Amino acid sequence: MDELLLIPGPTQVPPQVREATARQMINHRGPRFTALYQEVQQDLRPLFGSGGEDILIFPSSGTGVMESAVANLFSPGDRVLATVMGEFGERFAAIAEAYGLQVDRLRVPAGAALTAEEIAGHLDREGPGRYRGVLVTHNETSTGVLLDLPAVARAVKERGLLLAVDAVSSVGGVEVRCADWGVDVLVTASQKALMTPPGLGLVYVAPAAWEAVERARLPRYYWDYRRARQAQAKGQTPYTPAVSLWYGLRAALAALHREGLAQVFLRHRRMAGAFRAGARALGLELLADDEVASPLVTAVRAPAGRDAGEIIRALREDEGVVVAGGQGELKGRIFRVAHMGAATPEQMVRALAALGRVLRRLGLADDPEAGAEAARRVLEEAAVSGR
Ligand code: PMP
pTM to 2 decimal places? 0.98
Nearest CA-CA partner of 134 in 82, 94, 186, 92: 82
CB of 199 shorter than 6 A to ligand 1: no
Could you report the per-residue pLDDT of 169-192, keeping only the tens digit for each? 999 999 999 999 999 999 999 999
Block means of pLDDT (10 residues each) for the chain, length 387 residues?
93 98 98 98 98 96 98 98 98 98 98 98 96 98 98 98 98 98 98 98 98 98 98 97 98 98 98 98 98 98 96 98 97 98 98 98 96 98 93
Residue 369 alpha carbon to ligand 1 centre in Å: 34
Q: Ligand 1 pocket check: which of 7, 66, 88, 202 to mutate, most ligand atoms within 8 Å of Cβ?
A: 88
CB of 92 shorter than 6 A to ligand 1: no
Residue 168 alpha carbon to ligand 1 centre in Å: 6
CB of 60 shorter than 6 A to ligand 1: no
pLDDT of residue 1: 62
pLDDT of residue 120: 98
CB of 9 shorter than 6 A to ligand 1: yes
d(CA 60, CA 70): 15
DSSP result, 160-229: T-EEEEE-TTTBTTB---HHHHT-SEEEEETTSTT-S-S-EEEEEE-GGGHHHHHH--S--STT-HHHHH
How many CB atoms neighbour CB 343 within 10 A?
25
d(CA 273, CA 205): 33
Q: Take atom 2 of ligand 1 and give the residue whose Cα is closest.
A: 168
pLDDT of residue 122: 98
pLDDT of residue 387: 87
CB of 67 shorter than 6 A to ligand 1: no
Work out which ligand 1 atom sits closest to the CA atom of 137: 3
Q: Ligand 1 pocket check: which of 83, 141, 147 to mutate, most ligand atoms within 8 Å of Cβ?
A: 141
Residue 293 alpha carbon to ligand 1 centre in Å: 18
Could you report the per-residue pLDDT of 55-89, keeping only the tens digit for each? 999 999 999 999 999 999 999 999 999 999 999 99
CB 190 within 8 A of CB 245: yes
**Using alpha carbons only, what angle is made at residue 349 by residues 347 and 351, rounded to the nearest 5 degrees?**
65
